[in-house]
Amino acid sequence: MSTPSEQLELLIAGYVLGDLSPEEAAELAQLLADDPAIAAEVAQMQTALELTYTPPEVQPPAHLRTAILEQAHLTPDAISGTTPQPDRLPPASPVRLADRRSRFPWRRAVDVAAAALILALGLSNYRLQQALQATQPDSPQYTILTYSLQPTQANSEASARVAVNPNTLEANLIVENLPPLPPGQVYVVWTVLEPNAPFTTDDKDAILTEVFQVDEQGNFSRIIAVPEVYRFDGVVTNVAVTIEDASAPQLHVGAPIVIAEPL
């Protein structure tokens, strides 16, 4: 016994194939009236069957037609009554779906089954895509965080700017007027968190974020990677730059030379 879903697929297949009884046609009409969305399924099957049963027309080569007629002991003159002109022979007519059903009655069952299968696969794929989309929450969108770092010493003209994109966990780091360091020393960017934040930090509640050197003019610019903490509100308290030993910058023994809070 067919389920309601299988019965609907068979009705749609029969409609597309033009082979519904009056009772079946009335049943499908009532289903369409109750659920107009069924019309989309009908159109989908119609398109699939048209692609299956309507191959592009191909003009047969003249020599092929002549060879067929010779095998049948006929000549083009016997058919047309004129001098053969291969390049003007009428094109072959495609066999229509209705003609196939009338010549081969057994094809109806095959056509209905194939059409039902095409529709079932299409609906299954659509439902699967909908289920996947439902289980995947939208990715949150974050606002760009901008930190303007100012010098801790009054006579310094150093400055830095860190623009963090929490979506990509990348930041644009721009440093100006920091004095070039002697060999063995480096500048380090630190992400400073609120005390007792649930992340791994050093004893100063900081995460080493970038190590860099400035050029002769005291400038530096680069896209850098930043930790995931920037995706959490209220976790990052500020950003700072210190001078550290190049062999162990993670020790974090230097005092901030520029420091900032988010704008």
> What would the pLDDT profile of 72-127 be if each residue is shown by its tens digit?
555 555 445 444 444 443 444 343 444 444 444 444 555 555 555 555 555 555 55
Q: Has residue 190 been placed in a domain?
A: yes
The CA-atom distances, in angstroms, between 37 and each of 26, 44, 135, 141 are 17, 11, 24, 34
Residues 216 and 255 in one domain: yes
Whether the CB-CB separation of 16 and 46 falls below 8 Å is answered with: yes
Q: What does the pLDDT average to over 13-26? A: 79
Residues 33 and 156 in one domain: no
Q: Which residue has the higher pLDDT, 34 or 62?
A: 34
Q: Has residue 214 been placed in a domain?
A: yes
- Write the pLDDT tens digit of every residue in 161-208: 999 999 999 999 999 999 999 999 999 999 999 999 999 999 999 999
Q: Has residue 89 been placed in a domain?
A: no
* CA 90/CA 44 separation, integer angstroms: 34
Q: Has residue 107 been placed in a domain?
A: yes
For the chain, give the mean pLDDT.
77
CATH of the domain at 201: 2.60.40
- Which residue, 153, 149, 157, is CA-closest to 210? 149
- Which pLDDT value is given to residue 11? 81
- Which pLDDT value is given to residue 106? 45
Residue 135 pLDDT class (50, 70, 90 cuts): low
Domain range for 187: 145-260
* CA 54/CA 126 separation, integer angstroms: 25
Domains in the chain: how many in total?
Answer: 2
Q: Has residue 82 been placed in a domain?
A: no
Residues 203 and 153 in one domain: yes
pTM over 0.75: no
Q: Compute the half-sphere exposure of residue 66: CA atoms within 13 Å on the CB side of its CA.
A: 9
Residues 9 and 130 in one domain: yes
